[in-house]
Amino acid sequence: MQLRACGPPLRLVVRRYGALFHLARWPDEGPYHNSQCPFYATAAAAGKSKSDAADAIQHTPAGLNVKLDASLFVKTAETSPRLSANTSGPGSTRRAAPLLGFLQRLWIKADLHTWTVASARSWGQCNAHLVAALGDGKLNGKPMQKVLHVVRRCDENEAQSIVAEFDDFLGRIETTPKASQRGLVLGELRAVDASKYGFVVKLRQTKRTFFASKQLIEMAAASFRSAWAMVGDASARIVVLAVIERTKEGNLRIVDIALQLCNSSFIPCDSRYEVAMANRLVSERRRFTKPLRLETGDELLPDFQLTDTESPTAIEVYGMQGNPQYLERKKEKQARYARTTTPCVEWTPPAELASVRLPAAA
């Protein structure tokens, strides 16, 4: 299939994820689409960065090939929420990605860390981008679609098929006296409620509920503090990636979890102050990107970067005061911007966000 934009025809591919068929861009051709085209992607999102056989997350023409730091098949019952990864075999030297690292890489691959001039982004749009990015890839050596389910948005016209598709996926999650077959669920967190035996985790797009132990919830609250603090806040969205299994009673239980804080349009954020800034940039219809800190040295990346100014403009949200290491990194960032003459907008709460002047779009 071909699509003509401004220039030579560009190829598209029809892919199936679960019960859905969708159009996806041809591998590595995202940067060649017009920036207004829904199939446009930056070179990094399109997977042009170099990778080697030891990388935990590899870009292939079919989709992502991921080795995750989580066991999807265990032969005996385990109680720890942190579990070792499936390996490729004896002597394997391939690295394994943590849940949050995989979630953030997927967000980049799906180009969901960038914003153009749209007025909003729904979970339905996120779903389409995510399944296109996953493609016909593999996770811990198994077909991606068999072990990872991206929860679909609520749609009354397709409610029956959506429920049937999810039930079909959950049917593969089973526990016997000898082993437990697990799976991953990716969706939007709605609430975490205390129950008689621990906690109940609820997602926004499904009526299905998942149980979680007190130990797991305490780990999540400590590991993802910024996201946890904004659960239920209407100005933010919390994306959840959970490893689930069946209990002996047949209930669904979360054994590991990662939370990603986002603004109201699913742009990743690191704090409630970044959520406020990202929401403002969206409301003012600015073009910007959220650099994600995934590698050593990424600590000096800006919080956001305006891409609609004459030259890219860094945006820094200095929301943590009184921390010596944070203040030292702040000085290092400011020195780098001065040395490279990079335009930078700073916001230091508790100053009002409205007092921050943004440069005009070019």
State pLDDT tens for residues 250-299. 999 999 999 999 999 999 999 999 999 999 999 999 999 999 987 766 77
Domain range holding 196? 2-263
Domain-ending residue, one of 203, 229, 263: 263
- Pair 247, 316 in one domain: no
- Pair 156, 293 in one domain: no
Residue 88: its pLDDT value, please?
A: 43
- Pair 285, 256 in one domain: no
Model confidence at 334: pLDDT above 70: yes
Does 166 fall in a domain?
Answer: yes
Residue 263 tokens read as: 């603004």
- Pair 193, 65 in one domain: yes
* pLDDT (tens digit per residue) in 60-113: 888 899 999 999 999 865 544 454 444 444 445 889 999 999 999 999 999 999
Does 268 fall in a domain?
Answer: no
Domain-ending residue, one of 208, 236, 263: 263
pTM, to two decimals: 0.83
The total number of structural domains in the chain stands at 2
- Pair 28, 163 in one domain: yes
Rounded Cα distance, 155 and 161, in Å? 10
Rounded Cα distance, 201 and 212, in Å? 7
Per cent of the chain over pLDDT 90 is: 65
Model confidence at 137: pLDDT above 50: yes
- Mean pLDDT taken over the chain: 85
- Pair 250, 282 in one domain: no
| Least confident window among 46-55, 60-69, 222-231, 342-351 | 46-55
- Pair 243, 290 in one domain: no
- The answer to whether residues 137 and 144 touch, using CB atoms and an 8 Å cutoff, is yes
Q: Which residue has the higher pLDDT, 13 or 173?
A: 173
Does 271 fall in a domain?
Answer: no
- Pair 294, 239 in one domain: no
- Pair 76, 211 in one domain: yes
Does 46 fall in a domain?
Answer: yes
Q: In which region does residue 130 sit, left (phi positive, over 0), alpha (psi from -120 to 50) or beta (all else)?
A: alpha
Rounded Cα distance, 169 and 184, in Å? 10
Residue 347 tokens read as: 């916001």
**In 247-323, where do the E strands start and end?**
252-263, 288-289, 304-306, 313-317
Does 360 fall in a domain?
Answer: no
| Least confident window among 159-163, 330-334, 338-342 | 159-163
- Pair 252, 285 in one domain: no
Residue 117: its pLDDT value, please?
A: 78
- The answer to whether residues 213 and 201 touch, using CB atoms and an 8 Å cutoff, is no
Residue 227: its pLDDT value, please?
A: 97
Residue 12: its pLDDT value, please?
A: 66
Residue 90: its pLDDT value, please?
A: 46
* pLDDT (tens digit per residue) in 154-207: 777 778 889 999 999 999 999 988 899 999 999 999 999 999 889 999 999 999
In this prediction, residues 318-344 reach a mean pLDDT of 91
